[in-house]
Structure 1
Amino acid sequence: MSKLPLSVAVGPYDRMRPLVDGDVQIEGVDPTFMLQEPEEIFFRAFRHADYDICELSLSSYCVKTAAGTSQYVAVPVFPSRAFRHTSVYVNTNAGINKPEDLKGKRIGVPEYQLTANVWVRLFLEEEYGVKPSDVTWVRGGYEDPARVEKITLNLPADVKLEHAPEGKTISGMLEAGEIDALIGPRAPSCFDRGAPNVKYLFDNPQAVAADWYRRTKLFPIMHTLGIRRTLVEQHPWLPMSVTKAFEKSKAVALARLSDTSATKVTLPFIEDQLRAARKLMGEDFWSYGFAANEHAMNRFLKRHHEEGLSSRLLDAKELFHPASLENFGI
């Protein structure tokens, strides 16, 4: 029987390399991999459903699933996870010395509904009492003024969302003091090039995030993996084949990362960072699968609905194909 030729769009992560290089196979599939940045994948997936299998923004996928309009169904594979305490940048002239000082300020976002921004607003409110209605949100592209919000939103009436002025970027506005802070999954270029008046909100975001994890056991999920719904209907074996392959690819990548006789990552002290992550979060610190992540998913879905992003409160199991929620045993 010939294999199913499918397009697969994912980021160029170490946990994907065994699949991309052919060291791990997806049973029954002849894949064509496209390694792209998340912004391109999400735009093409949610606007045009360009791919057979692809990374999906968790937030955008939840918006579509709640509305019953998603052309993809996910499996519990999470290609991107990140603590987002490094995602808040402030202008040093704005009088922001602690998170509570964000109240009353103007905060730029590349898109309001981005997954990273949902997680940031969650901890800003729960830890520091800063509600979405306490600030004015300014939506605009990091570096491209033409960037659009790819998902239609229906926000609560008390949330103030403006568009950046025509021709302006939120990176440029932050540096110029036209907004007071910026929240998003990428660092703005003004921060990367060392603008003297732009810094992290948290002086030591890693320490703050580690403390938050100890208390909440939340390692934020950013992206999940979607399969075109029509394909799953035609080939019911596909969700489990995809789930198994991505699990195996991640396991191979972690085994390679653990071999520090010659480090696989272009970063010194990687072995110490790996040891610290396992001490803080356990051996399977980047877990796939439903059961290990139900807690984080439920917290995210509750917040997502409270913010008016998902039209109804989703059950975490609704997000994933039923065949991918369980596995066989021997």
Structure 2
Amino acid sequence: MTIPWTVALRDYEHTRPLKDGTVVAEGVDLEFVEVEPIHRAFAPMVREGGYDVCELAIATLFQAIEAGRPVVALPVVLHGNFHHRSISIWNGEGRLSPEDLAGRRLGVRAHSQTTGLWVRGMLADTYGLRSQDVTWVTTEGPHVASADEPVNVERTDRKLVDLLTAGELSAVVMGARSADHVPGLEPLLPDWKARQDQYHQEHGWVPINHLAVVRRELAEAHPDGVRAVYRALQQSIDAARPEVPTGTTREMVIQYGVTDSLLATLETAIRYAREQEIIRTDLSAEKIFADFEKYVGEP
């Protein structure tokens, strides 16, 4: 009897067919572990290989690759979004603009959080506000324990929204769905929808937040099994696609395969990670999938 492979994936429309058994990974027994919120699975995965297959944020993946952690990225995008709506101020806060934030204190759950990476990159590219121009107040450290944080990162044990309402922060980085549940939070960018539409027109892709990864030991010892999981993830994504595309962000960002679009998105994210001192060594999008190409390859 084979030992089941443990799998930590959030419950999305495109993972549900795999999780409910509609799609099967041939020859592999999968045991799904529910982790909510899913970011709580990231540290166990990169620190001690806590799962065989896991959803993982790309900023954590970059740090894991830099630290030599034994994870292999699969070219399967599980989550992504635009992030022009992901930075908020309190009740208008005198209608601060991005240019007003230099020298101020901003909150984010962790400096290496991928949403924060995309927000900071957007602020730098569009408004000239570098990550180093502000102080980042965080409630968590990096998932990769050995990763160093920049000198302009502080830790707090208080809630970021409480600090914001007390006037001790000027803005907080928070996913739009979470921000919408906090009365009084308003987008820093009142024209965020137009900004994200413009971003998509200029780049042609939606920012990626999470990929699927597996333990390297599995890729080395059981490449056929990992290939079956990869194929099943593809089928699960395809099963969730509407017959007639509706143009939603989820439809645009959820994808599989090493495509030019995926590599271009990751190259931008890597540039942001270097600029923000999330990683400090050279990394390329091709290197991210080098072990996948070596051990697994396209089915």
Q: TM-score, normalised by structure 1?
A: 0.81
AA at the equivalent of 2:166? A
The alignment of Structure 1 onto Structure 2 pairs a total of residues equal to 294
Q: 1:327 matched to which residue of 2?
A: 298
AA at the equivalent of 1:163? R
AA at the equivalent of 2:127? Y
Alpha-carbon distance change, 128 to 45 in structure 1, aligned in 2, over 3 angstroms: same
Q: Deviations over 1:148-183 (max 9, x none)?
A: 443344345xx512222x4x1112111222211001
Partner of 2:32, secondary structure, is: strand
- Structure-1 separation of matches of 2:189 and 2:277: 27
Q: Deviations over 1:54-84 (max 9, x none)?
A: 101111111110121x121111011111111
Q: 1:182 matched to which residue of 2?
A: 172
Partner of 1:8, secondary structure, is: strand
Alpha-carbon distance change, 324 to 223 in structure 1, aligned in 2, over 3 angstroms: farther
Map 1:65-80 → 2, pairs under 5 A: 65-68=65-68, 70-80=69-79
What displacement does 1:48 show? Answer: 3.0
Contact 1:240 1:324 in 2 (8 A): no
Structure 2: tracts of 5 or more residues without a match: none
AA at the equivalent of 2:153? L
Alpha-carbon distance change, 102 to 232 in structure 1, aligned in 2, over 3 angstroms: same
Partner of 2:255, secondary structure, is: coil
- Structure-1 separation of matches of 2:52 and 2:153: 34
Map 1:1-330 → 2, pairs under 5 A: 5-36=4-35, 37-68=37-68, 70-92=69-91, 94-140=93-139, 147-151=140-144, 152-156=146-150, 159-164=151-156, 166=157, 168-185=158-175, 192-195=181-184, 198-255=185-242, 258=243, 275-277=246-248, 285-291=253-259, 292-320=261-289, 321-323=292-294, 326-327=297-298
What displacement does 1:326 show? Answer: 4.9
Contact 1:104 1:134 in 2 (8 A): yes
Larger gyration radius, structure 1 or structure 2: 1
AA at the equivalent of 1:253? A
Q: TM-score, normalised by structure 2?
A: 0.89
Question: CA RMSD of the aligned region, Å?
Answer: 2.4
What displacement does 1:308 show? Answer: 2.0
What displacement does 1:104 show? Answer: 2.0
Among all aligned residue pairs of Structure 1 and Structure 2, give the percentage whose two residues are the same amino acid: 28
- Structure-2 separation of matches of 1:174 and 1:104: 16
AA at the equivalent of 2:174? G
What displacement does 1:206 show? Answer: 2.6
Structure 1: tracts of 5 or more residues without a match: 141-146, 260-273
